[in-house]
Structures are given as C-alpha cells and as structure tokens.
Amino acid sequence: MAAESPIETKLEVSIELAQRLIGQAAPLLAAYWEFQEEADCWRLVLVPSSQNEEQRLIKQATELLIEAPYRSAFSLSDVAVDSRQIGRAQVLGAYIRVKPYVGRRIDTTFTGGQYFESVVPVYLAQELLTHVQVA
C-alpha cells in the first residue's frame, strides 16, 4: 500500500480539526484550503461565524493546534483564522451544488464577485449550503 501524500494527510487532519471545533461549539462558519499565489503555498482558512467571534475561534483553534496530530501536520503559516473571509465563504457555499463537496478541488472560478484560483472545501456550515443536492 502506498504511503499517503503530505497533501492528503493535511486534508484528512484539517477535516478532523474542523469536526473537533464543531464538536466544541466553536463559531466556525467555514474551513477550506486555498492556494495563495502571492506566497506560492496552500493555507487552511478557518472562517468564524462573525467578526465578533474571531478571537474565540482563534483561541479554540490554537488550543487544538498545539495537540497531536495537528502540531506535526501543520506549520505555523498553514492555518489562518480570518473574519474578512466571511463573504468568500458565503459565495463558496452558494457555488457548491453537489455533496460530497469536502476534499473536491475547485480550480479557477469566478463567482459571486469572488475569484478562487484553487480551493478545497473542508467544512461549510449548513446555512451556507443553500443549493446542495446529494449526488
């Protein structure tokens, strides 16, 4: 059996991280990997449910990120909590039409006034998924 690639491992661990945050009632609206061309890297974006909840999500995520397996899977620059991404998360949720969407890479998409070069959804709150159908 072939070993998993680092990308697959990070995806699996990020899905687990999102599930743990939701299990702790963290204010997580969305989580997705996004390629950031200016830095030439992938970043896991954790989007709080509101700007007022950003600090609470930072605290809860940071507490988990120092635990195994997260601390060995992610570098410090891999994860960002950003309330400025709420609008992008809403557009991403409206764009997705089919389940399962987790782990499906979306490339070069312009929708709802937002440009996504490459994004891989990890978690979207149910309120964002207005048009999703089961495939």
Render pLDDT for 53-100 as a digit per residue (tens, 0 to 9).
Answer: 999 999 999 999 999 999 999 987 899 999 999 999 999 999 988 788
Identify the CA nearest to 14 among candidates 45, 55, 58: 45
pLDDT at 101 over 80: yes
- What per-residue confidence (pLDDT) applies to 4? 43
**What is the bridge-based pairing of β-strands 106-111 and 114-124?**
antiparallel
* pTM for the structure as a whole: 0.89
Degrees to nearest 5, angle at CA 34 with 28 and 38? 130
pLDDT at 30 over 50: yes
Query: Alpha-carbon distance 7 to 131, whole Å?
Result: 28
CA distances from 133 to 94, 98, 99 (A): 12, 5, 6
Residues 116-128: pLDDT tens digits? Answer: 889 999 999 999 9
- What per-residue confidence (pLDDT) applies to 17? 97
Residue 1 domain-assigned (yes or no): no
Residue 90 domain-assigned (yes or no): yes
- What per-residue confidence (pLDDT) applies to 130? 73
- What per-residue confidence (pLDDT) applies to 3? 44
> Which residue range(s) make up the domain with 48?
6-134
- What per-residue confidence (pLDDT) applies to 41? 86
- As a dihedral over the C-alpha atoms of residue 64, residue 20, residue 70, residue 8, rounded to 10 degrees, the angle is -160
Query: Alpha-carbon distance 83 to 5, whole Å?
Result: 30
Query: Alpha-carbon distance 99 to 73, whole Å?
Result: 26
* SS3 (DSSP) at 39: coil
**pLDDT grade for 2, boundaries at 50, 70 and 90:** very low
Q: Quote the number of domains for the chain.
A: 1
Query: Alpha-carbon distance 47 to 41, whole Å?
Result: 18
Residues 3-17: pLDDT tens digits? Answer: 444 566 899 999 999
